[in-house]
Amino acid sequence: MSKEDRRLLILEREMKARMYQKSVLLEILHLAHELYGYFDKDLLNYISERLNLPPSHVYGVASFYHLFRLKKPGEHVVSACMGTACYVSGVEEIISAIEREFNVKRGGSTADGKLSLFITRCIGACAMAPNVTIDNEVIGKANKEVVLKRIKDIIGG
Partner 1 sequence: MKPEDILRIAREETEKQGFYKYRINICCSSGCLPFGALNLLKAFENAVKKFGVESECKVARAGCPGTCSVGPVVLLEPGGYIYQNVTPEKAREIVKSHIVAGIPVKEYLYANEAFFKKQLRLVLRNAGKINPMRIEDYIAAGGYQALIKCLTKMTPKEVIDEITASGLRGRGGAGFPTGQKWNFVAREKNTPKYVVANLDEGDPGVFANRTLAEADPHSIIEGMIISAYAVGAEQGYIYVRAEYPLAVNTLREALRQAKAMNLIGENILESGFNFNIELRLGAGAFIAGEETGILASIEGRRATPRPRPPYPATSGLWGKPTLINNVETLANVPPIILNGGDWFAKIGTPKCTGTKCFSLTGKVNNPGLIEVPMGITLREVIFEIGGGILRGRKFKAVLVGGPSGGCLPESMLGLPIDYESLTKAGAIMGSGGIVVIDDTACMVDTAWFFTDFCVDESCGKCVPCRVGLLKIRNILERIMKGEGKMDDIDLLEELGVYVRDASLCGLGQTAPNPTLTTLRYFRDEYVAHISEKRCPAGKCFKEQASLEVKE
Shortest Cβ 1–partner 1 spacing (Å): 29
Residue 118 CA to residue 80 CA, distance in Å, equals 6
Angle at 140 between CA 137 and CA 144, to 5 degrees: 95
The piece of 3-11, 39-47, 118-126, 144-152 that touches partner 1 (CB under 8 A) is 118-126
Site string for partner 1, 41-60 (x = CB under 8 A): ----------------x--x
Residue 106 CA to residue 97 CA, distance in Å, equals 11
Check binding of 105 to partner 1 (CB under 8 A). yes
The piece of 40-48, 85-93, 108-116, 147-155 that touches partner 1 (CB under 8 A) is 85-93
Residue 50 CA to residue 25 CA, distance in Å, equals 10
The piece of 5-13, 40-48, 126-134, 142-150 that touches partner 1 (CB under 8 A) is 126-134
Candidates 103, 124, 120; CA nearest to 112 is: 103
Angle at 91 between CA 121 and CA 99, to 5 degrees: 95
Check binding of 24 to partner 1 (CB under 8 A). yes
- Looking at the Cβ atoms of 39 and 74, the one nearer to partner 1 is 39
Rounded to the nearest 5°, which phi and psi values hold at 104? -135, 145
Check binding of 64 to partner 1 (CB under 8 A). yes
Interface with partner 1 by CB under 8 A: which residues?
Answer: 22-27, 29-30, 57, 60-61, 64-68, 82-89, 92, 96, 99, 105, 120-129, 137-138, 140
